[in-house]
């Protein structure tokens, strides 16, 4: 079950572009289709429109060979054996997933089915989507014998998406068709057999898992539920540890110690137990809402997910309250901000907690100087530069003469900051860390007043003063 497969990827966003380049890396012939002509023109030049580690290298490696880009969906589908649908499923006003893009793609694909095609959901979709795709093709006159529909959800993390694709902890394929299973097994054979990892030109990617990827075969409905359930559970884990962090602050405990003790339980695990300002991005907020809506449509009350979102929203307000506790008032204060992306390693600002906090602070009359290694260009579209908001070229420029420095995104490079230079740049040596990037003792010894999430505050500046008062907590 090896050999090249002709693959078409519909959609060139995070999922589609990563899937296209990685399938080409595995040896398949791939055409990535998008109706955005400017994006396709950019990709044909070998330029990546998103910040994603290893993606530029793979694009250049396979462009014009195993990997092609097109705006002609019909032509791309005619030559494909497998068609992966990786278009957006944004949240609508009711919280459910907007499936209009998938509906449109299914209608277009139906015009190109002149021999057997396997249509695979790669987007995150609610249960029953595969049945609707099949129904659309049949309504458009495509005989059922000429196609199958399968679900192959992605489990990619922005910033490490290429690594996650090529060294997955599991590959889930959902289908009731033997011929669909056989084709998908062929597509993923380089990973499931381990052959890819033996190639001389394979990417050297450290792995925490076995070199042979595990293939999980389920029904389409189970596969659709696996993806939504996974994201909802991870979001729940983040909200849970953030609520525990709030308890730690109230009790004077340390969330790092608590999370360590929890995470060493193999039934729980340490991942996603990092307290902070909450989750964001293009997946968790949308998928939690969509999963809850899907449950309601099935008559299942899933109030737990409502609390997950409520805790996440409240975490932003608690962080702003922490800033107030350090500065007393906000109006007229100058704040340095490090981080705009929803997480480190990406330029994605969709539903970014950092953006939300900056907007809250601007509404309170603050002046903000912000720096992010990758996301500033995207952020300018939602937060244009103004008298109240300036974009800095370095972290130290963002901190220049600021009354406090806020850390809102967990970029690894922030851990390498020159702390004496940072203290010199600030007007007051106050750092309010929403990502717990630094050990408290280190910040105290460097002379900072350091406030983080779920950990006792440190008043290093008190080393240079006779006395220091505890901050007053304000509710926002």
Query: Do the Cβ atoms of 27 and 190 come closer than 8 Å?
Result: yes
Backbone angles phi, psi at 432, to 5 degrees: -115, 110
Q: 22, 77, 248, 283: which is the annotated catalytic residue?
A: 283
Q: Is 32 a catalytic residue?
A: no
Strands 449-451 and 458-459: antiparallel
Residues in contact with 425: Cβ distance below 8 Å, sequence separation at least 6, in sequence order? 336, 396, 397, 399, 400, 401, 402
As a residue count, the chain comes to 476
Residue 25: which of 211, 180, 206, 204 has the closest Cα?
204
Tell me the β-bridge partners of 390.
Answer: 369
Annotated active-site positions, please? 283
């Amino acid at each position: 079950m090896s050999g090249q497969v002709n693959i078409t990827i519909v959609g060139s966003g995070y999922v589609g572009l990563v899937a296209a380049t990685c399938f080409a890396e595995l040896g398949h012939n791939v055409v990535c289709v998008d109706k955005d002509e400017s994006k396709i023109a950019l990709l044909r030049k070998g330029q990546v429109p998103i910040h994603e580690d290893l993606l530029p290298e793979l694009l250049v490696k396979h462009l014009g060979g195993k990997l092609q880009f097109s705006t002609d969906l019909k032509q791309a589908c005619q030559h494909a054996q497998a068609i992966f649908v990786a278009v957006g499923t944004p949240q609508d006003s009711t919280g459910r997933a907007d499936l209009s893009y998938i509906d449109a793609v299914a209608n277009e694909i139906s015009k190109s089915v002149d021999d057997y095609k396997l249509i695979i959901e790669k987007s995150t979709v609610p249960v029953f989507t595969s049945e609707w795709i099949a129904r659309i093709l049949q309504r458009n006159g495509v005989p059922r014998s000429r196609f199958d529909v399968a679900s192959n959800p992605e489990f990619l993390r922005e910033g490490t998406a290429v690594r996650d694709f090529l060294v997955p902890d599991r590959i889930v394929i959902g289908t009731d068709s033997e011929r669909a299973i056989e084709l998908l097994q062929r597509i993923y054979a380089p990973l499931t057999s381990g052959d890819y990892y033996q190639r001389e030109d394979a990417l050297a990617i450290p792995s925490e898992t076995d070199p042979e990827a595990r293939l999980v075969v389920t029904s389409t409905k189970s596969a659709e539920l696996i993806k939504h359930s996974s994201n909802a559970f991870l979001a729940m884990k983040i909200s849970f540890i953030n609520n525990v962090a709030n308890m730690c602050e109230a009790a004077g405990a340390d969330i790092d110690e608590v999370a360590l003790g929890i995470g060493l339980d193999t039934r729980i695990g340490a991942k996603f137990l990092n307290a902070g300002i909450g989750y964001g991005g293009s997946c968790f907020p949308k998928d939690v809402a969509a999963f809850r809506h899907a449950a309601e449509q099935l008559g299942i009350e899933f109030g737990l997910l409502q609390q997950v979102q409520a805790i996440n929203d409240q975490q932003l307000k608690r962080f702003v309250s922490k800033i107030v506790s350090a500065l007393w008032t906000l109006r007229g204060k100058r704040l340095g901000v490090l981080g705009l992306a929803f997480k480190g390693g990406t330029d994605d600002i969709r539903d970014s907690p950092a953006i939300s906090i900056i907007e809250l602070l601007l509404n309170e009359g603050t002046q903000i100087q912000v720096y992010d290694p990758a996301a500033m260009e995207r952020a300018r579209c939602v937060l244009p530069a103004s008298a109240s908001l300036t974009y800095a070229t370095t972290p130290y420029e963002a901190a220049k003469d600021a009354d406090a420095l806020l850390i809102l995104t967990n970029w690894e490079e922030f851990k390498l900051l020159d702390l004496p230079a940072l203290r010199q740049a600030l007007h007051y040596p106050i750092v309010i860390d929403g990502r717990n990037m630094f050990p408290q003792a280190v910040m105290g010894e460097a002379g900072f007043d350091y406030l983080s999430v779920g950990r006792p505050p440190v008043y290093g500046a008190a080393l240079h003063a006779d006395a220091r008062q505890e901050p007053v907590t304000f509710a926002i």
